[in-house]
Structure 1
Amino acid sequence: MKVVSYHQYGPPEVLKIEDRPKPIPKDNEVLVRVYATTVTSGDTRLRSSNFPGIAWLIVRLVYGLFTPKKKVLGHEFAGVVEAVGKEVRKFAPGDEVLGTPTGLETGSYAEYLSIPENRSKGVLGLKPKSLDFNEAAALPVGGMTALYLLQKAAIQKGQKVLIYGASGSVGSIALQIAKAKGAIVTAVCSSTNFEMVQSLGADELIDYKSQDYSMLGTQYDIVLDAVGKSSKTKAKKILKKEGQFVSVAGITKPKQEHLDALCRLAKEGKIKPYLSKVYPLNQIVAAHEYVDLGHKKGNIAIDMKP
């Protein structure tokens, strides 16, 4: 099978397409033919080992001090079940699925993944028919993070929610989830992305380049920082007395229940991951180069269908 691997940290050019043996599923595993994956900011940071301050050393100690321990990147995927072990009960060959490769030996930049049916980390679920494979691949990471944060903030119908970084992968799905919950949403992003976030349901718009959201006076029930570039101190200026600030910069703990909830919302037509670009596998370097620019809208998918 084809995989995209990297044997040293660095620019996108360190990514190479290589051949590896196709995995054989164990009795408790599901063999998935990967049809799509994504390029997330997490992938590009791990590839380049570009982390601020002491985080650089901490990440290197976990993922490999001098060279990466896990040679295949990729944090989410969608595909089709090709085979299952004799102990598997929840899935069958032909099932369309989506999930994360957390806890596996390789990431999702691979044509095949052999996945335990039940894991302490990582998720796997049936793909909503309302999403194509590229869209489905972009749902788990950003979607589960967004849902976890909004649930942590105890979002309620009618609340006013401000999303800082509303045009990114987490922000764009958080916007849709908040609207599905009946919230009134203010989207903070570049004015070049106003049309995009309006199409996703944003009620009000703020251009972060020309306006400081914390100085506008409106009071909010929730401020969600979807890019980790704001702060609780700043958000407090516009939060109501019992208002909540949540951020991707904190520790998130998405679980299978979050993926299941997202799939239900997708089936109901209430959410759909926004894709701004789709690349074939042989253009994975170009996809990473684009994400490295730091201006991506929504999600970047890698189409790996046979």
Structure 2
Amino acid sequence: MSTKESNVPKDANEHCPGPESESAGKDDACAGCPNQQICATTAKGPDPERTEVLVGIKHKILILSGKGGVGKSTFTSQFAFALSSDEDLEVGVVDVDICGPSIPKIMGCENEQIHTSGKGWTPVYIQDNLSVMSIGFMLPSNDDAVIWRGPKKNGLIKQFLKDVDWCDESRPLDFLLFDTPPGTSDEHLSIVQFLRESQITGAVLITTPQEVALQDVRKEIDFCRKAKIPILGVVENMAGFVCPNCHGESKIFYPTTGGAKSLCDELGIPLLGSIPLDPSIGKACDFGSSFVDTNPDSPATKAYQSIIKNIFSIIDPK
């Protein structure tokens, strides 16, 4: 299979005009595409209700993957904790997974509530330089399901951006991370639209080593290219397990086609790093704590630190 062919999702037509095109959802090539109605009804061009606060945020990074269960939320939370360990960096997290908001739990703030001020909603602060916004703060119970159609989701995402007081004028955000749901649907198109004029720094794509996950990541890569989102690189999560007793390594998710490295080599995308399985990561998420702080000597912590270093080599963090 050629590189060109591998970039085209199996559920989209080869001549897709891209979600930003004026003919998106209306072109003959869009016939039969599952995203046809979404693309056709999504407004094109800059959002007239955009606020200047988005321009003041230096880096807006999307955490993406076409596959569910590969660890997007886990990576987003621990990436945010690791960034905020530098007191000179201001970090925010937006939970865009409207129907499955897990960020409040894994960042230790699930019982918090959103407050309002003259500047709008105030995000929940986990520490002085780390804030979070999620629909999870608005639900009466953690067991309540969010059963919404696309337009209502899009409206809330817009509020998370334009109605939240993300930036103190004296200390604007350096990083705003977006934890997204699996796939390439309403939420992703909304983020692209709302951030178009203030610019997206790039996307970090999360995968696991096995081919069933890599297949969906190929679709996410194609989405980024069509939506003109820069790809910062790929993170391979759950890449092997090292026994703490015998120190032997096991491949839990076997890379039958070469894993993320093979994919990145094929498509010319940076491999930011591979994070091994560590049961302490799951424990940290259950307790809402920073894994990199509580397990400084873990190989997984070193992997997170290496990934941050690689991202900083691509973008200026400050």
> Could you say which TM-score interval applies, normalised by the shorter chain?
under 0.3
Give the TM-score normalised by the residue count of structure 2. 0.27
Higher helix share: 2
TM-score by length of 1: 0.28
Greater relative contact order: 1 or 2 (C-alpha under 8 angstroms, separation 6 or more)?
2
- Structure with greater strand share of residues: 1
